[in-house]
């Protein structure tokens, strides 16, 4: 891996990689690293059993870590209740 990241950046990369809705392309856009480099970071920073669970999840059909696997009509995630949320509370319907 050619790039070095500080602790906060490494934590953010791991967090983004763990989230199902965050594609590898978003990580590449934000940090400039490819999927293989993300895998290297995950392998180095996680326990081996946790890394295996993550890889199994990413490679299964559950995860949508690749934009190609996503529904082409969805270009970003937006909660259906997003407009009604204010001050960290969901307003009455």
* 3 state SS of 64: coil
pTM score, two decimals?
Answer: 0.65
pLDDT tens track for 8-21: 899 999 999 988 77
In the chain, domain spans: 7-90
- Alpha carbons within 13 angstroms on the beta-carbon side of residue 32 total 5
- Alpha carbons within 13 angstroms on the beta-carbon side of residue 2 total 4
pLDDT band of 32, cuts 50, 70, 90: very high
Cα distance from N-terminal residue to C-terminal residue, the chain: 50
Q: How many residues does the chain have?
A: 93
């Amino acid at each position: 891996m050619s790039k070095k990241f500080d602790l906060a950046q490494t934590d953010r990369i791991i967090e983004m990689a763990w989230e199902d809705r965050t594609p590898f392309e978003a990580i590449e856009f934000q940090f400039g690293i490819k999927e293989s480099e993300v895998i290297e970071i995950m392998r180095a920073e996680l326990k081996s059993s946790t890394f295996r669970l993550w890889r199994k999840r990413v490679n299964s059909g559950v995860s949508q870590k690749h934009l190609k696997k996503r529904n082409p009509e969805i270009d970003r995630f937006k909660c259906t209740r997003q407009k009604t949320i204010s001050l960290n509370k969901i307003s009455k319907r």
